[in-house]
């Protein structure tokens, strides 16, 4: 069964962000360089616009911006992954492309379609065997097109998990190599219901030994998903996506968050010493990021530009597709903080520059030259003589997405309430505002990427980012400004992105 592509509604499809050609997309997987091409796989259900038994969709790119869709790389077709090929990572090993993923089985589901299951269940030597199991598996390709599952799967079975880890929450292997050895970070949940990441090591990528774990207690969420560990600017960074992380002021306001720990990882002991921590993005729709090293040796990250437990209109209104990825972001560390910049090759896709130097905005400012819904807008401003400055995006008659810089309260907020297709959280009512604390007495720099139904905002050269989706009935494309007092615009530049 394949979805009827004629029923595809293209009104909210992006122009320069990766989306599935049809059906559902979540986490980026297997992000890696193989045979001089970038490969990005993703959690994919081709038959509906909601999550289902996971496949790995596959796309390749030369510049990380323009992607070519390939055939589905992995399907749930083995006894150990029959209910889902869950998230994981990819790397080049010799001349081969190796993908590590989580095999997911759910005996609830199996009971429904395997009439023999009941018999087997009774025969099991473990009567209290969990209904859900997650194990780590390997698939190998020689050509970057056809992927074959390893005959010895799973490479880490339920027997190789520490006793206090839930067998049903052990997933998303990120594998990398370091000095002749392989290392794996796996997301997990303890039987005490706290999130953790487990580290394994291997000489050959097939036989794995448990090394250590990192656990930070109940404030850090109930399960850690999609870990990624890498070196950056002389430090080690551990990324992960904790579900139900406890909110801290205006940080971690989403039900599920994404964070970075920066410090030192000891390869001998598997011990991670934390120096600083931060939330990765302070918008609504950013989850499960994964990184790779580019051909120019830059560390680049891509995240799923959506969030769990949210009611997106793409599914409710049957658009035929649902889910997309953020732009690739170049990472670096300054003063213990992770900085994210739009990957520089986006510049090759920017056209028709419009710019205006040094002018003042007082009350309303509108200039059709800066309108658009598929564009980059770079602004340098200072609020020495103003108290508030705001920009409305995707503006029509009754709808707009509002970014406000409030000098007195040291806050930047994004408000997505004014839409006739409000994006409702299924767990917290009336949740339409995200804010962050920032010193606005100094000059501010913004780079804003609009793409039909998404916005990515990079503040002060990537010190902070805000990512959000936005769907409107009117599909307005005005970008207008408002200032209380006089805001000095040092420079405003706009490019269309095709």
Q: Which residues of the chain form contacts with ligand FRU (CB under 6 A)?
A: 26-27, 43, 54, 86-87, 102, 171-172, 225-226, 287-288
Based on C-alpha coordinates, what's the Rg of the chain?
A: 23
User: Contact at 8 Å (CB) between 336 and 276?
Assistant: yes
Minimum Å distance from CB 368 to ligand FRU?
A: 40
Between CA 421 and CA 431, with CA 427 as vertex, the angle to 5 degrees is 50
Minimum Å distance from CB 36 to ligand FRU?
A: 28
Ramachandran region, residue 193 (left: φ > 0; alpha: ψ -120 to 50; beta: rest): left
User: Contact at 8 Å (CB) between 262 and 276?
Assistant: yes
Q: Which two tokens stand for residue 479?
A: 């970008």
Q: What are phi and psi of 16, to 5 degrees?
A: -140, 20
Judged by CB, which is closer to ligand FRU: 224, or 471?
Answer: 224
Judged by CB, which is closer to ligand FRU: 53, or 422?
Answer: 53
Neighbours of 319 (CB within 10 A): 20
Minimum Å distance from CB 476 to ligand FRU?
A: 31
Q: Which of 27, 169, 172, 451 is catalytic?
A: 27
Q: Rounded distance, CA 189 to CA 209, Å?
A: 19
- Annotated catalytic, 143? no
Rounding to the nearest 10 degrees, give the CA dihedral for residues 227, 231, 235, 240. -10
Minimum Å distance from CB 50 to ligand FRU?
A: 12
Return the closest-CA partner of residue 414 out of 386, 392, 438.
392
Judged by CB, which is closer to ligand FRU: 81, or 253?
Answer: 81
Q: Rounded distance, CA 76 to CA 83, Å?
A: 6
Minimum Å distance from CB 76 to ligand FRU?
A: 11
Judged by CB, which is closer to ligand FRU: 81, or 478?
Answer: 81
Q: Rounded distance, CA 352 to CA 344, Å?
A: 18
Judged by CB, which is closer to ligand FRU: 54, or 167?
Answer: 54
Minimum Å distance from CB 94 to ligand FRU?
A: 27
Q: Which two tokens stand for residue 452?
A: 């039909």
Question: Could you give the C-alpha distances from 436 to 192, 406, 407, in angstroms and in order?
Answer: 32, 10, 12
Neighbours of 146 (CB within 10 A): 11
Judged by CB, which is closer to ligand FRU: 260, or 403?
Answer: 260
Hey, which residues are catalytic here?
27
């Amino acid at each position: 069964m394949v979805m009827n592509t004629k029923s595809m509604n293209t009104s909210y499809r992006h122009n320069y962000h990766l989306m599935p050609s049809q059906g559902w997309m979540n986490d980026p997987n297997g992000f890696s360089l193989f045979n001089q091409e970038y490969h990005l796989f993703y959690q994919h259900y081709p038959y509906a616009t909601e999550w289902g038994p996971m496949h790995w969709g596959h796309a390749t790119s030369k510049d990380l911006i323009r992607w070519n869709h390939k055939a589905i790389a992995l399907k749930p077709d083995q006894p150990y992954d029959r209910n889902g090929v869950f998230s994981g990572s990819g790397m080049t090993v010799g001349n081969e492309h190796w993908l590590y993923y989580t095999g997911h089985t759910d005996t609830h589901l199996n009971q429904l379609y395997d009439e023999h299951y009941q018999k087997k269940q009774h025969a099991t030597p473990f009567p209290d065997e969990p209904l859900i199991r997650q194990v780590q598996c390997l698939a190998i390709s020689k050509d970057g097109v056809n992927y074959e599952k390893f005959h010895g799967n799973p490479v880490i079975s339920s027997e190789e998990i520490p006793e206090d880890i839930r067998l049903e929450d052990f997933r998303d292997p990120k594998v990398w190599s370091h000095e002749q050895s392989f290392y794996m970070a796996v997301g997990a949940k303890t039987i005490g219901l706290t999130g953790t990441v487990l580290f394994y090591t291997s000489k050959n990528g097939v036989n794995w030994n448990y090394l250590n774990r990192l656990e930070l207690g109940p404030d850090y969420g109930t399960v850690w998903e999609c870990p990624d560990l890498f070196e950056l600017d002389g430090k080690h960074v551990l990324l992960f996506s904790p579900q139900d992380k406890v909110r801290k002021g205006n940080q971690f306001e989403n039900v599920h968050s994404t964070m970075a720990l920066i410090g030192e990882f000891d390869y001998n002991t598997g011990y991670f010493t934390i120096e600083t921590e931060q939330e990765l993005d302070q918008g609504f729709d950013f989850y499960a990021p994964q990184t790779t090293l580019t051909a120019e040796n830059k560390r680049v990250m891509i995240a799923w530009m959506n969030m769990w437990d949210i009611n997106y209109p793409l599914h409710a209104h049957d658009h035929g597709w649902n889910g997309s990825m953020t732009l690739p972001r170049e990472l670096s560390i300054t003063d213990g903080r992770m900085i994210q910049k739009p990957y520089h090759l986006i510049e090759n896709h920017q056209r028709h520059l419009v710019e205006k130097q040094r002018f003042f905005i007082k009350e309303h400012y509108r200039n059709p030259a800066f309108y658009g819904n598929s564009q980059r807008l770079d602004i340098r401003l200072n609020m020495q003589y103003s108290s508030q400055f705001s920009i409305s995006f995707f503006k029509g008659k009754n709808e707009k997405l509002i970014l406000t810089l409030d000098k007195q309260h040291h806050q930047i907020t994004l408000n997505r309430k004014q839409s006739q297709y409000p994006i409702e959280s299924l767990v917290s009512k009336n949740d339409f505002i995200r804010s962050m604390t920032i010193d606005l007495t100094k000059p501010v720099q913004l780079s804003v990427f609009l793409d039909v139904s998404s916005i990515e905002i990079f503040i002060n050269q990537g010190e902070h980012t805000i990512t959000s989706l936005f769907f409107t009935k009117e599909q307005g494309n005005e970008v207008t400004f408002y200032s209380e007092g006089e805001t000095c615009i040092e420079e405003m530049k706009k490019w269309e992105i095709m």
